[in-house]
Amino acid sequence: MSAKQCTDWQAYESVEPFGERAHYWRTGQICAAIHNSQRTKKSDRVAKAEDFMPDTFRDETDEDASTPTDDYDQLKAVHDRAQRGIA
């Protein structure tokens, strides 16, 4: 596999997780749903899927306005960062 192919796959995986990262994500969603269904007060914190994932599998994207919303734009942004050596 060439370095470009590896970078392309890394960029794609960050947008559409597969493998172990996807399993952690699904499990985190289930755990969050169960936890949130057991909240006793509205003031209790609402859990997110990331709260139940190991730190190494958490999504590292920022939630600011500069984050692309379209899947293609997001994939392209990750790919561009990887090509510059930032990823």
pLDDT value of position 85? 62
pLDDT value of position 16? 80
* Cβ-based neighbours of 50, under 8 Å, separated by 6 or more: 28, 58, 59
pLDDT value of position 64? 46
pLDDT, tens digit only, all 87 positions of the chain? 888 888 888 888 888 878 887 888 888 899 999 988 988 887 788 888 888 887 665 555 544 445 555 666 766 776 677 666 654
pLDDT value of position 13? 82
Which residue stretches of 1-87 are H helix? 3-15, 20-37, 71-83
- Residue 48's CB is within 10 A of a number of other CB atoms, namely 14
Do residues 47 and 35 touch, judged by C-beta distance below 8 A? yes
Does this model's pTM top 0.85? no
Do residues 17 and 37 touch, judged by C-beta distance below 8 A? no
Half-sphere exposure of 46 (CA within 13 A, CB side): 3
